Amino acid sequence: MAEHVVLSHPAALSRWGRLQIDERHFRGWLRRSHDQLAEGERFEEFLDTGCCGRSHHVTFAVESVEGDARVTDDTTFEFVERPGCDPEGGWGARSESGA
């Protein structure tokens, strides 16, 4: 099992985005939505932006995985920054339809 996974996000991730990835329910979502994670893999996840009816998509990169690739309910996640921007973070995020 993957005991601990380090995921990076753009360094300029908005304050709101950082609050969202720090939530217990977001880590739970990662456990439920990924059977496996491998070092070097990249994937996009949606972050809730509240009642405005929009969502924000953030690209995460798997920096390291302790153990094998299989994600379980016991897998822990750590988030670190990588160079990059998040120009549409927070309330100005793009909608699901890309508008």
Residue 31: pLDDT band (50, 70, 90) is: very high
- Output the six-digit token pair for 75: 């897998």
For the chain, how far is it from start to end, CA to CA, in angstroms?
Answer: 39
pTM for the model: 0.81
Give the pLDDT mean for 45-72: 84
The reported pLDDT for the residue numbered 85 is 64
Domains and CATH numbers, the chain: 2-87 (3.10.330.10)
Which pLDDT band holds residue 98 (cuts at 50, 70, 90)? very low
**23-32, 63-72, 85-94 — which is least confidently predicted?**
85-94
* Residue showing tokens 């990076």: 8
Res. 42: pLDDT tops 80: yes
